[in-house]
Structure 1
């Protein structure tokens, strides 16, 4: 029951958002606006306030990053190989499949899930992963597709656009500003702090509701075998590897281990669809993987929470 008390409110808000969009109670463009608010205002404010004010523990983040991204490399390569060699798709499509299997919905689902599970103690692990997850994943996916196609355009121009898109991303800006503020040693004045706190507190419910509304547009299409394979790798293999590496190889602290596993257990992120749509390849694989993995995540996340409570080293 304690696990359900964590999972059901999170996925309940997703279900309500989906129902609101499905019934037409709230129009699709409203969902788009809500998602923009989450990405450009609420989450950056939450991350800025967290980084500027949190007590960062002495533990090194390198082992935390190593655990998570070692698993990313394995699942990305596995999905890519299965789709290209097993299903006979081209390399750019394999990149989309690998990206869908390795890139988690960290903002709309990961942050609310970890904050619900660990409270304020989960804020620092959230920041440490969000800070590198978006730049690394988007850069790797973009470069993989560009290098895999002989006629994709000017590679130098691609790098320039990639750098601009990363360093003008609101979440990255929020992190960088929080980092700069922390190094100044200044305290945040009372009224600005209250504003940041109010905006940041909207991140969790708005993110989950907008994730549900976004789910309405992603139906199951294309080869169901590929979608099932990508979803299995995303929901089972990825968090499983993170758990094994973090619990028994590099021995992460319990909350850091839990945050890494729950991040990995999140369904495929919307960035997979945006990447596929931008390059015109693997669009159905990305959209179907988002829909199916999100629908199944309520079961898999509950299972991983149980694993963390029963099998994680203390």
Structure 2
């Protein structure tokens, strides 16, 4: 037990240490808002897409194809958390439908890029990369489409221009472009070599530390702003209920062990910053979503450690 805990600490501590470093440098003014914007744009627009492309192009895909139980287990947990988050917002806190959707989205949508990629790659290595990036490929599109339909469709019916705008946003998402390019390279049998490989290796190596520093800077921007009780409910649904449901389902549905572990770990990630951005877009649930992002990220240091213990990560 102690040896396993020590092994997990070597995975978790550096990750959250870099997040903390980013937060402190922002609090002290050593790095400014301009640095936060630039670093986040670099991570999201270049470094992580290159990491994903390189990993998928070089990865060994499972011979039997993608296990269907993997998708069912993860998204069942995500949408149960989403639904309960909406229900709590409506019945416990008396919020509007739009704000309830924001609460639900925050409860089911994980921070994949800034926390999920560093932690899961550290914990499961190259074997965990394929299920991780395949899940990232569909996670944001599915969750955003559902949230948009639930919000706009309830008001006036989802418009054609609204759907077209959402489709364009997702189609040009740099993370998804990295996944598409990596998948095409894998199907074509192309593996970068020579100077190109060295360049991609250097960019990919910068993705994880820059993502973590960027998250720390973002946490200073999205502090706990009040509306604390809803934020606690959202955090509990995201960090405890979502991974618990997935953990139960991965033991009932067929999939390779590493895929099962990645699904649970992915579900255990804190609320994504996209929840706050969605709240800003609809001018509803801004305080609750910002508080949930910060609170869940801070508490995930403890909860992720517990989930890694349960999963037997060493």
Q: Give the alignment's TM-score, normalised by structure 1.
A: 0.94
In structure 2, the partner of 1:64 is: 70
Q: C-alpha displacement at 1:296, in angstroms?
A: 0.6
In structure 2, the partner of 1:97 is: 103
Q: Determine if contact 1:228/1:289 at 8 Å carries over to the other structure.
A: yes
In structure 2, the partner of 1:142 is: 148
Q: Secondary structure at the match of 2:312?
A: helix
Q: C-alpha displacement at 1:253, in angstroms?
A: 2.3
In structure 2, the partner of 1:178 is: 182
After superposition, what is the alpha-carbon deviation per residue over 1:225-250, rounded to whole angstroms, capped at 9, x for unaligned?
11110000000001111111112x11
Q: Secondary structure at the match of 1:36?
A: helix
2:167 to 144, 153, 163: 163
2: CA distance between counterparts of 1:120 and 1:302? 20
In structure 1, the partner of 2:286 is: 283
Q: C-alpha displacement at 1:254, in angstroms?
A: 2.3
Q: Determine if contact 1:267/1:297 at 8 Å carries over to the other structure.
A: yes
1:24 to 21, 29, 48: 29
Q: Secondary structure at the match of 1:149?
A: helix
Q: Determine if contact 2:102/2:279 at 8 Å carries over to the other structure.
A: yes
Task: Confirm or deny that 1:259 pairs with 2:265.
Answer: no
Task: Confirm or deny that 1:244 pairs with 2:243.
Answer: no
Q: Determine if contact 2:141/2:170 at 8 Å carries over to the other structure.
A: yes
Task: Confirm or deny that 1:234 pairs with 2:238.
Answer: yes
Task: Confirm or deny that 1:47 pairs with 2:68.
Answer: no
Query: Which structure 2 residue ranges, 5 or more long, are not aligned?
Result: 1-5
Q: Determine if contact 1:92/1:149 at 8 Å carries over to the other structure.
A: no
Q: Determine if contact 1:218/1:287 at 8 Å carries over to the other structure.
A: yes
2: CA distance between counterparts of 1:78 and 1:58? 37
The correspondence of residues 120-139 of structure 1 with structure 2, limited to 5 A, is 120-139=126-145
Q: C-alpha displacement at 1:187, in angstroms?
A: 3.1
2: CA distance between counterparts of 1:29 and 1:63? 43
Q: C-alpha displacement at 1:223, in angstroms?
A: 2.2
Q: Please tell me the root mean square deviation across aligned C-alpha atoms, in Å.
A: 1.4
In structure 1, the partner of 2:43 is: 38
Task: Confirm or deny that 1:274 pairs with 2:277.
Answer: yes
Query: Which structure 1 residue ranges, 5 or more long, are not aligned?
Result: none
Task: Confirm or deny that 1:304 pairs with 2:307.
Answer: yes
Q: Secondary structure at the match of 2:221?
A: coil
Q: Secondary structure at the match of 1:216?
A: helix
Q: Secondary structure at the match of 1:55?
A: coil
1:225 to 216, 226, 229: 229
2: CA distance between counterparts of 1:260 and 1:307? 13
2: CA distance between counterparts of 1:62 and 1:50? 22
- State the aligned residue count: 307
Q: Determine if contact 1:277/1:283 at 8 Å carries over to the other structure.
A: yes
Q: Select between 93-102 and 215-224 the one with higher mean Cα deviation.
A: 215-224
The runs of at least 4 consecutive aligned structure 1 residues that moved more than 3 Å come to: none
Q: C-alpha displacement at 1:251, in angstroms?
A: 4.3
In structure 2, the partner of 1:206 is: 210
1: CA distance between counterparts of 2:74 and 2:231? 23
